[in-house]
Chain A
Amino acid sequence: MGMASGVVSKSLGTGGQGERILAWSLAAPALCCVAAFVLAPILSLGIYSFWGRLPTGAVDHVFTLANWRELFGDIFYATILAKTLRLAAVVTVICAIVGYGPAYYITLLPPPRRAILVALLFLPSWISYVVRSMSWLPILGKEGLINSVLAGSGLLAEPLPLLYNDFSVTVGMVQFLLPLMIVNIYIGLQAVDPKLVDAARTLGATGLQAFFAVTFRIAWPGLAAGCLLTFILAMGAYITPLILGGPGATFYANLVFETFLSHQDWPFGATLSLVIIFFLAAGLTGYARLAGLSTMFREVRR
């Protein structure tokens, strides 16, 4: 902050017990919300995953490893997890490749136009996720926009199978997660001082060399944060496969959904959900080691 050192700021509460109590009591409601509605729920997932299930379907409050044994013992779950991880990886890579250019382009623009594009970047997140997903139905369907245009131009005898398969799920997921990826790459790029790039150019680097030696290297935490978020959210998405997937489009999150709401098997559902938490924790730990958690959640400047 731009304060002269040694100046004790009056508005920045630092000392006093009264100040400390005030600060904690202001933060207390939010902390209680997170503790009760985020942390306690994750904890209860842990507890339920070690509980059994009675033949009646009710939860048996007795310690058991049965859920974990079933998860690791049955190849069915490993197959679906592998399929989901592959989808999440493909979606992440596509978003990173497709998203980097636009994020970089926005940083090149003069302020007024940049502000407009940044605002447009947030526009998709104002629009309902369900609506964005279902908007592919009239586009990719058998009599949809793409097939109508192709058939009308006489290029196709039979419509392309674009909908209700892994292709449409991938398209839907990329559309859903791309804005998030671009925002994160953009946040990373904001950390790059243009003077450094100019210095590299002055020292004889080509534009491409300067980009990789300076821009990309300084901005990588943004890309990494974007990849982490995209991957985890793709892993946890079941709405997109539900709307755009085929009859056999069971991804990991759909499995969680069915285990809970169709089979009502809460202990096993909790076990399945913990696997997502495990991937999130592993990704976050790696990110914290390499880039530091403080590089995440930085402000988007216009």
Chain B
Amino acid sequence: MTRRRIVRSLLGAMTLAVFLFMLAPVLVVVFQAFNDSPTSTFPLTGVTLRWFTALPDDPAIVGALRTSLALAAWASVLSTLIGTTAAYALARFRFRGRNFVQLLLTIPILVPHIVLGVGLLLAFRFVGLAKSFPLLIVGHIAITLPFVVLTTGHRLQAIPLQIEEAARTLGANRLQTFKAITLPLALPAILTSLMFAFMSSFDEVTATLFWLPANIETIPSHIMAMLQFSVDQKINSLASALILGSVGLAFVTVLASRALSADARLKRGPRT
């Protein structure tokens, strides 16, 4: 028994170290963003907020932020709509070719973004289309779609069919059943898909660099450009804002999907 406990605490320590390795480095960036010195120093030479307050004064950053927000909003909303309907078809219908469709919709997850980037660029050139903002949206839909299909699909699979059958037996048609039963039960997963798609699109850079029209920048592409010149605290403050935003969004998503889950709603009692 004691040996088992030793193994467990060793594994626990290893897990802690690995999580620190994955997450703690970004804290150094946040830490340095408050540094008075323009280059990174340990310890800080002084604490300041000026790198953060300088961010909104940089028109390039504001422009890139606008582009990234618009791109992520378009891509995530469209991807969630398209992906959720497909996931519903896969989870609620048995038709010939279903397994093939399932595979086709999820396998793009495995394709490295550089290949997607290069390929879509060439495919567009093939039919005579130039790089443009719609091309970016379309590419980001392709990248985020498999995640939506998987996340929402898993949730739909987990909803017991009996509940929907009860509704159908009581006379509801398919659409009514979907609206009254399936959609509310799947809502936490749909919300998670939407938020995750938004963040992945916002952060995507590997394929995006191939698709960006000459005069457009996204936040990650702008950071890449800034890194070419020098690493000063302005990048760190921008990166910190990004970290704060994404961790905040992840946190809000977890809380919101919990609040939307059936268990939580049951605990609050029936709607009156």
Contact = CB atoms under 8 A, between A and B. Distances in A.
Contacts of B70: none
A238 interface: yes
B231 to A, nearest CB: 6
A50 B116 CA distance: 19
B179 to A, nearest CB: 13
Nearest to B249: A126
A151 to B, nearest CB: 10
B250 A130 contact: no
Interface residues of A, number: 98
B89 A131 contact: no
B101 A27 contact: yes
A37 B112 contact: no
A256 B158 CA distance: 42
Nearest to B147: A125
A167 to B, nearest CB: 15
B28 A135 contact: yes
B111 to A, nearest CB: 7
Nearest to B35: A138
A207 B6 CA distance: 13
Interface stretch (B18-26, B45-53, B55-63, B264-272): B18-26
Chain B interface size band reads 35 or more
A136 to B, nearest CB: 6
B56 to A, nearest CB: 19
A22 B175 CA distance: 12
A173 to B, nearest CB: 13
A143 interface: yes
A178 B22 contact: yes
Contacts of B109: 297
Interface string B101-123: 10111111111111110111111
Given A11-B161, A178-B18, A34 B104 contact: yes
B90 interface: yes
Nearest to B43: A148
List 10 tightest A-B contacts by C-beta distance, closest first.
Answer: A236-B112, A41-B119, A30-B86, A23-B93, A37-B142, A26-B89, A11-B164, A135-B25, A138-B40, A148-B42
25 contacts: A2-B160, A10-B164, A14-B94, A23-B89, A30-B83, A36-B123, A47-B126, A99-B18, A101-B11, A101-B18, A126-B199, A128-B202, A129-B220, A135-B29, A135-B239, A138-B40, A148-B41, A228-B110, A233-B112, A257-B209, A260-B118, A266-B125, A269-B118, A273-B119, A293-B103
Interface of B: 3-4, 7-8, 11-12, 14-15, 18-19, 21-23, 25-26, 28-29, 32, 39-42, 82-83, 85-86, 88-90, 92-95, 98, 101, 103-116, 118-123, 125-126, 138-139, 141-142, 145, 149-150, 154, 157-158, 160-161, 164-165, 167-169, 174, 177, 196, 199-200, 202-203, 205-206, 209-210, 220, 223-224, 227, 231, 235-236, 239, 242-243, 246-247, 249-250, 254
Interface of A: 1-3, 9-14, 19-20, 22-24, 26-27, 29-31, 33-34, 36-38, 40-45, 47-48, 98-99, 101-102, 104-106, 108, 117, 119-120, 122-132, 134-139, 141, 143-145, 148-149, 175, 178-179, 182, 207, 228-229, 232-233, 235-239, 242-243, 253, 256-257, 260-261, 266, 269-270, 273, 276-277, 280, 284, 293, 297, 299
